[in-house]
Structure 1
C-alpha cells in the first residue's frame, strides 16, 4: 500500500483494474444513453407526455457511477484521473442540457433530435478511457517511436 493511498486496502485491490472498470463503465454509459434516447422517443410519441419527459433512471445511475469511478481513478492515477474526470464531468453536463433541450422540443411539438453533443462527448471519453486502459496494445510500437 502506498503511504498516500486514500482508501487504504480498497486501493490495493482496485489499483490494477480501475482503468478497465472505468472503460467498462464508459461502455455501459454509452449503452444506457442509447436506451434512454429510445425511451425518450417512445415517451414523445405517446399522448401521456405533453409537457415533460421522465428521466431514464438507469442512464442517470450510469452517469453518477461513471463520475464516481473517474473520481476514484483520480485518487490513484492523478494525471489520467484529472483528464478523465474533466471529460466525464463535461459529458455529465452535456447529458443534463440535452435532456432539457429534449423537453423544450417536446413542448414545442417538434421531433426529438438525436443526442449529438452527448454522443460526441461520450466518444471522446471512450477514446481517452480506451487509451489509458488499452495502452499496452500499442506500447511496443509507441516505445519504439518515442
Structure 2
C-alpha cells in the first residue's frame, strides 16, 4: 500500500518507526498512570480531596500519545483509525476515572484503582502490540491462516 507523504522529512525519519513510537508511548502512559494513582492516594491521605491534582507527566504522555496516534493515522489509515479509537476511549475513560477518584476522596472512602482506564489501556496495548510486533508471529500466522 502506498503511504501518504504529508509531512515530508518527518515521514522519512519518523514514519517507519511510528508503530514502535506509539507502542512506547502507550507503555509510558500506563506507567505514568500507576505513578499518578500512587500520587493521588498520597495526596488524599495528606490533604483530602482538595489536595488531589492531575499528574503533569501523565498529561504529557497522554497528549504525546494522542498526537502520535493522529500521525499514525496518516501513515496507515486502517491501523491508525483503530488505534486512535482505542486510545481516544482510553483518554475519555482516564478523564472520568480521575473525576471518580475526586468523588471518592470527597466521600472519605479509600481511593480505588482506575480499573476502567487500566482495562482500556490494556485493550489498546494488545492491539498496538499486535500491529507492531506482528513480524514475530507472522510465520505461525501465515501457516495457520494462509
TM-score tier (shorter): over 0.9
C-alpha distance in 2 between matches for 1:77 and 1:35: 32
> TM-score, normalised to structure 1's length?
0.94
Gaps of 5+ in 2: none
Number of aligned residue pairs: give it: 144
Gaps of 5+ in 1: none
Kindly report structure 1 stretches of 4+ aligned residues shifted beyond 2 Å: 48-52
Partner residue, 2:39: 39
Partner residue, 2:89: 90
C-alpha distance in 2 between matches for 1:129 and 1:75: 16
Q: Which structure has the highest helix share of the two?
A: 2
CA deviation after TM superposition for structure 1 residue 76, in Å: 0.3
Pair 110,96 (structure 1): closer, same or farther in 2 beyond 3 Å:
same
Pair 92,80 (structure 1): closer, same or farther in 2 beyond 3 Å:
same
Pair 135,109 (structure 1): closer, same or farther in 2 beyond 3 Å:
same
> TM-score, normalised to structure 2's length?
0.94
